[in-house]
Structure 1
Amino acid sequence: MTSGDDEASTAMDHSVRSLLRHFATTTAGVRFTESPGHLFLATATDHLGPMHNSALRTDPTAGPEAVIGAAEEFFGRWNRRFVLWAGAHHDGDLAEAAARHGFALRDNSRGSAGMILRTPLRTAPDNGTALIPVRFRSQVETFTDIVADAFAARDHPQPAGATRSLFTPARTLLHPRVIAYLAVIDGVPCGAAMTHLNGPVATLAWIGTRPAYRHRGVASRLVTACVGESFRRGAQLVALQSSAEAEALYSRLGFQEITRYARWLSPAPANPHGSTD
């Protein structure tokens, strides 16, 4: 791996950690802990997804057995299964340990693509989509409705209730480090996206279009707006995690794949009588 690759993968890891911390510290009902070697986040629901019930090794020198053991102890308090992230660039030993412990790959063996963009995008063609910054609580509710509908209709659907739980209370979006937009066509809110700013890295997330409005350039308009505002506010690059179905869109817009993150699903907790409060 070259120094440029090292820099890019470090930026990707920074992006992942920053976004998890943001939801951990702004979302209701989240239990969160972080040490020099790992970050664990248990959400209000038992859904298993990238932002729900996740375990992340934050130091590649931390022993994989120690990280897995600490995660099992943490999530076992609430009788929870969890998703263990493993980056292709430095978590090979963690993935091997997960397999030994009976973890199963989540969704697909390739994992999600970690992608970055280093320059602003050209303005997307005007397709009749109006873009509205999210600044009020009523707009947060609309944003949440849109992404809940969009993610429930994906190839690997996420329950609408699990998505909604991440945007309660409204400060998750009405935060000084968050840029969020709604897309509106003919007066109907149909798309949403956000970026989270943390130093030189902005993380693009929750890009969603209502199913009836897909393939009309809505996502491209939203991504272009979020990216442009992120660079205007000091970001030096924009990072994202892409599902398999969206990789072609982001590649076409100029994002480059840096690494991949496999997600390993833990076995059922060893303690079936853990706390559920």
Structure 2
Amino acid sequence: MPSSSEAVPSPEDLAVVEGGLVASWSRQVRWTGGDAHRVGGLFVALSGVPDQTQQVAVIEGALDDPDAALAAAEVLFGRRRWQPAVDVVAGAHPELEDALRGRGYRVAVRRPAMVLREGDPVTTEAPSTEVRRAAPADRRAVVVAQCEAFGVSRRLAEQMVPPDAFDDPGVEVLVALGHRSRVVGSVTVHVDGPIAGIVGAGVMRRHRRQGAGTALTLGALESAVRRGAHGVWLQATADGEGVYRRCGFRPVGTCEVWLGPTPR
């Protein structure tokens, strides 16, 4: 169970986070030529990216038998030789957490889940940093910015921001511009019906604390609202949480990634 100081989302906020996770991972699987499976209330996303962090199960529906759902998901992960991973909001599904512990899973990653819904105030003014929608010709610069912002390989960044990201009608990639209009950061905004997700918001290290992160976040919110979203979710990093709070996002809980035993 979560500690007394750890929030459990309201049903409305939980629906934004969990619905957004399913939509985002579904798109990532499609972009990368992976496989998606639905088993007992879990959505299992096995992307085409050869990286453990890009293989995960998230909550999609009612978990009538969490142990059986996990067993079925483990078979799917095992076929690809991936360690099973489940991303769950702490305290929202206690029966699932009990089943995870019983099957030998452990929490490997914890990130604040944050939401801004229609009617919530946006609490900061836009900085002077220019933000615009990225064009396909910007992809190379976006990949470079993602590599530096997150410390990932170029290969992984290229697969996380594929050419399809610039043509998908449900997605906008935004870039922040620095000196001589060079790309210094980027963010991807996924909109699926009334829910939008802010994914991969990152700024190159030497350009941080100059307003680019705030400008990207506000640009992402404008994009989401313009395209009809009523709720926006994200998973925050330690560096980004303060920026998101200043932009009006509320922490609604903690997303925990549970890793299971390594396949033999």
Shared fold, TM over 0.5: yes
Moved over 4 A (4+): none
Q: Distance in 2 between matches of 1:98 and 1:15?
A: 22
**1:95/1:160 CA distance change after superposition, 3 Å:** farther
The structural deviation recorded for 1:89 is: 4.2
**Secondary structure at the counterpart of residue 240 of structure 2:** helix
| Aligned length in residues | 252
**Secondary structure at the counterpart of residue 239 of structure 2:** helix
Q: Distance in 2 between matches of 1:60 and 1:245?
A: 34
Q: Does 1:84 align with 2:86?
A: yes
**Secondary structure at the counterpart of residue 131 of structure 1:** strand
In structure 2, what is the equivalent of residue 212 of structure 1?
206
The structural deviation recorded for 1:36 is: 5.8
Asked if structure 2 preserves the Cα contact closer than 8 Å seen for 1:106 and 1:265, the reply is yes
Asked if structure 2 preserves the Cα contact closer than 8 Å seen for 1:179 and 1:230, the reply is no
Q: Distance in 2 between matches of 1:81 and 1:159?
A: 21
Q: Does 1:175 align with 2:175?
A: no
In structure 2, what is the equivalent of residue 273 of structure 1?
none
Q: Distance in 2 between matches of 1:173 and 1:30?
A: 19
Q: Distance in 2 between matches of 1:45 and 1:185?
A: 30
TM-score by length of 2: 0.88
Q: Does 1:20 align with 2:25?
A: yes
**1:245/1:123 CA distance change after superposition, 3 Å:** closer
Q: Distance in 2 between matches of 1:228 and 1:25?
A: 26
Q: Distance in 2 between matches of 1:96 and 1:130?
A: 47
Q: Distance in 2 between matches of 1:117 and 1:150?
A: 24
The structural deviation recorded for 1:31 is: 2.2
Q: Distance in 2 between matches of 1:103 and 1:45?
A: 23
TM-score by length of 1: 0.84
**Secondary structure at the counterpart of residue 190 of structure 1:** strand
In structure 2, what is the equivalent of residue 130 of structure 1?
130
2:38 to 34, 38, 52: 34
Q: Does 1:237 align with 2:231?
A: yes
The worse-fitting range, judged by mean Cα deviation, of 37-46 and 227-236 is 37-46
Letter in 2 for 1:79: R
2:104 to 98, 102, 105: 102
Letter in 1 for 2:145: I
What CA deviation, in whole Å up to 9, does each residue of 1:196-247 have, x standing for no partner?
0011111111101111111111010011011012112211121111123322
Identity %: 22
Q: Distance in 2 between matches of 1:61 and 1:140?
A: 39
Q: Distance in 2 between matches of 1:12 and 1:86?
A: 10
**1:180/1:123 CA distance change after superposition, 3 Å:** farther
Unmatched 5+ stretches in structure 2: 1-8
**Secondary structure at the counterpart of residue 106 of structure 1:** strand
1:192 to 151, 170, 186: 186
Q: How does 1:61-76 map to 2 (within 5 A)?
A: 61-76=63-78
The structural deviation recorded for 1:248 is: 1.9
Unmatched 5+ stretches in structure 1: 153-157, 271-277
What CA deviation, in whole Å up to 9, does each residue of 1:237-269 have, x standing for no partner?
211111233222211221011221111112110
